[in-house]
């Protein structure tokens, strides 16, 4: 087994959702695992001089069209949430709280939260909904609600976000690394797959 | 013959160059012609709240890496110019001056100018160099130098740029339309090709 793909994602990112639906399958075809890393994209906007995609006038309109088009191309259910973007702080903390004891359950939670938001339009920024989604996967609802309020989990999300931005150069979602090689965007999964198949070029 | 692809490009855009090297072949595989349309991307930055890719700290570093990586993937020669970006006003006017009488020569000029900039690092913003490149294709050097200073050609570039931004929603380079369907970016040529092959989805 070669090194895992590192997968950075923001819960409020439509392209993050589209990549989340595909990335483990893409990786498996090349004998790789995926390490999922939730981070807060909002932290990068001021540093980078950017803003959420949908807030640009022309790029925003194009993006809304392309989210749905890219979802259809990949057979992924997608409905643009009416309330967008959201500040998915509790969601990201819940991911890391679960991840501390069970990577697999954390991934399942991430996929469930993404679908709750980008298919059903539910407000996954709410801790109560995060707890419900995690409980459905077997997690302890009350333990999660307490856990995401601890200094340790708050620091974990802050540190992961800082590392992503300051150490790895992450500026968007999704953002993947294959043996250190960076790939930005759900529309680069094919290029990333070719990179794994060929060993790079 | 179905409707031609509309291809909007900015001469100072590395991804515009990468698309320019491929787009006529991609179109020909689907029985289509390509209408090339030079425009000035600089006009959109203030309206959209964006800036040239390489001026973002993290996205800029990633982009410089990706220009070269994407070029290698497609077998295209590429050297990042030391003087970048440039204000390719004379270049774009030269394109439209040639296009008024000879679409084919205008395309050849665009490809030659792109290569002069992104392979040889020459300053294609200079009218004299544009005239040299066009003369090598058979154009009248002096007529071009006079032509690009006429009110008609200046207005033509201004109008094409305004139309691109205000009527078509173009906000980046390259930007393509297939039967009205928009595709942004050199890395969307594959998706665009799939759209033509399937009739859309």
Chain segment B124-170, per-residue pLDDT in tens? 999 999 999 999 999 999 999 999 999 999 999 999 999 999 999 99
Which residues in chain A are contacts of B52 at CB distance < 8 A? none
Average pLDDT, chain B: 97
B1, pLDDT greater than 80: no
CB spacing of A59 vs B172 below 8 angstroms = yes
Task: Name which of A156, A171, A41 is nearest A93 in CA terms.
Answer: A156
- ipTM for the whole complex: 0.95
**Which residue in A50, A72, A191 is closest to B201 by CB distance?**
A72
| Contact status, residue B188 vs residue B7, Cβ threshold 8 Å | no
CB spacing of B182 vs A62 below 8 angstroms = yes
Q: Could you tell me the pTM of the whole model?
A: 0.96
What's the pLDDT at A1?
Answer: 62
User: Testing the interface with A: which of B58, B178, B181, B193 to mutate, by most A Cβ within 10 A?
Assistant: B58
CB spacing of B59 vs A191 below 8 angstroms = no
Gap between the Cα atoms of B189 and B201, Å rounded: 16
**Which residue in A56, A61, A169 is closest to B50 by CB distance?**
A56
- Strand, helix or coil at A36? strand
Gap between the Cα atoms of A60 and A41, Å rounded: 17
Q: How far is A81 from chain B (nearest CA, A)?
A: 21
**Which residue in B48, B61, B187 is closest to A188 by CB distance?**
B187
Which residues in chain B are contacts of A44 at CB distance < 8 A? 58
Chain segment B174-185, per-residue pLDDT in tens? 999 999 999 999
CB spacing of A201 vs B69 below 8 angstroms = yes
User: Cis link prior to B88 (omega < 30° from 0)?
Assistant: no
| Contact status, residue A37 vs residue A114, Cβ threshold 8 Å | no
User: Dihedral through CA B119, CA B34, CA A191, CA A77, nearest 10?
Assistant: 150
Which residues in chain B are contacts of A62 at CB distance < 8 A? 169, 171, 182, 184
- pLDDT tens, chain A, 201 aa long: 699 999 999 999 999 999 999 999 999 999 999 999 999 999 899 899 999 999 999 999 999 999 999 999 999 999 999 999 999 999 999 999 999 999 999 999 999 999 999 999 999 999 999 999 999 999 999 999 999 999 999 999 999 999 999 999 999 999 999 999 999 999 999 999 999 999 999
Sign of the four-CA dihedral A21, B172, A85, A145? positive
What's the pLDDT at A36?
Answer: 98
Q: How far is A186 from chain B (nearest CA, A)?
A: 11
- β partners of residue A175: A8, A184
**Which residue in A49, A62, A169 is closest to B51 by CB distance?**
A49
Q: Which two tokens stand for residue A38?
A: 């939730």
pLDDT band at B49 (very low <50, low <70, confident <90, very high): very high
CB spacing of A62 vs B201 below 8 angstroms = no
What's the pLDDT at A113?
Answer: 98
């Amino acid at each position: 087994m070669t090194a895992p793909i590192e997968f950075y994602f923001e819960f409020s990112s439509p392209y993050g959702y589209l990549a989340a639906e595909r990335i483990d399958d893409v990786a498996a075809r090349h004998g790789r695992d995926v390490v999922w890393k939730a981070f807060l994209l909002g932290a990068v906007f001021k540093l980078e001089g950017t803003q959420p995609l949908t807030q640009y006038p022309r790029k925003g309109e194009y993006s809304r069209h392309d989210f749905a088009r890219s979802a259809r191309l990949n057979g992924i259910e997608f409905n643009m949430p009416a309330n967008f973007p959201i500040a998915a702080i509790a969601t990201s903390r819940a991911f890391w709280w679960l991840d501390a004891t069970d990577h697999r359950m954390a991934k399942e939670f991430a996929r469930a939260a993404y679908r709750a938001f980008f298919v059903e339009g539910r407000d996954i920024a709410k801790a109560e909904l995060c707890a419900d989604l995690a409980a459905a996967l077997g997690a302890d609802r009350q333990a999660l609600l307490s856990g995401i309020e601890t200094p340790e989990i708050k620091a974990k999300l802050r540190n992961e976000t800082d590392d992503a931005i300051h150490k790895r150069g992450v500026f968007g979602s999704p953002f993947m690394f294959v043996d250190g090689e960076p790939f930005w965007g759900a529309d680069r999964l094919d290029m990333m797959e070719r990179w794994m198949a060929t060993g790079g070029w």
